[in-house]
Amino acid sequence: MPAGRCADEESGNSIPRPRIVGVGTAVPPFSYSQSELLEFFKVTDPKIRSVFMNSAIERRHLTLPPVDAAGDRRDEAQGELLRKHRTTGLDMGMRALQACLKRADAELDDVRYLCCVSTTGFMTPGFSALIIKELGLRQDCARLDVVGMGCNAGLNGLGAVAGWSSTHPGELAVLLCVEACSAAYVFDGTMRSSVVNSLFGDGSGALALISGGPDRAPGGYGPGDSCPTVLKFASCIIPDAVDAMRYDWDDDAGKFSFFLDRDVPYVVGAHAESVVGRLLEGTGIRRSDIAHWIVHSGGKKVIDSVTVNLGLTRHDVRHTTGVLRDYGNLSSGSFLFSYARLLDEGVVEEGDYGIFMTMGPGSTIETALLRY
């Protein structure tokens, strides 16, 4: 088999493969530098200030707590944080979905399947039902909410969307990642919470897929050269590191709080090569054939570890580091911000191969193989 061709295509498999025909992103209206946030929250501990200032993040969009009578940022109760998650998430999610449909030249009425992904808050019904109501999507729109899977969940959701799309050719399916990370903050002055508070930002990303039909998007990105086909997924779960990343109840704070173990970058990096190997296994594609790497902006050390273990260059992860710099870690939707930047760059050529890679609680690494 020639390099760059897929085994499944050679077999003549008749199941239509989903193509990505649109992407859209949205953030809250206000952004802050790391130094501004340290001043707002009156952080003086030099160790904590160092964590913020050495994060490779310049600005993040956040929905900050309200100011009290003394002019200080007030501590928010868990109920307020959950309402922030719903309000901020709905606003961002609807704008990201509309931006995605615009780039795909599609209408709200075209959406037949909606998968909403979120970890930064809990509610029932989930975002899918709320967004269908608020935007007036079709009442027969099939839906799914993926909750509590963390930063890797965008690709968990994409797997479900791609599967639905393959069995519903010609119908538009949308993945929507909604993360109001500022609704998951605890301000207690500890290093544990400060590491989290220094890293995450609010943001939402949407991706539109369609299977079958003509070899071109309904509009927007034009003929197949920049509408990649989703070829394959591969996962890696690391049970020994199940508690390394977690979002659970903190009795002392009386809130949910997120925890990141200091060894996360090394655990993820150590398994990156094996999961990419499984993704490419049987395809005839070599790692050196991959032209575009879209890696989750998990943090400076995570990006460095993945880069080293996969033998990537700084150019390969330029969009990953750029999104981290300009937005922070946006959890499940981070990789969609990087993907949008790749398309805007205009360097993708027909026949190129690309990889999506995300990582998160479990601990897990999720990957997807694309052909442009």
Residues with a known catalytic role = 151
Q: Is 128 helix (H, G, I), strand (E, B) or coil?
A: helix
As a whole number of angstroms, the distance between CA 320 and CA 15 comes to 32
Q: Is 28 helix (H, G, I), strand (E, B) or coil?
A: coil
As a whole number of angstroms, the distance between CA 118 and CA 361 comes to 13
Return the axis-axis angle of helices 300-310 and 264-280, rounded to nearest 10°: 40
Residue 65 to residues 75, 80, 168, Cα–Cα distance (Å): 7, 9, 44
Q: Across the strands, what pairs with 366?
A: 235, 358
Q: Write down how long the chain is.
A: 372
At 103, which amino acid appears? R
As a whole number of angstroms, the distance between CA 172 and CA 268 comes to 33
Residue 112 to residues 106, 117, 161, 366, Cα–Cα distance (Å): 12, 17, 11, 25
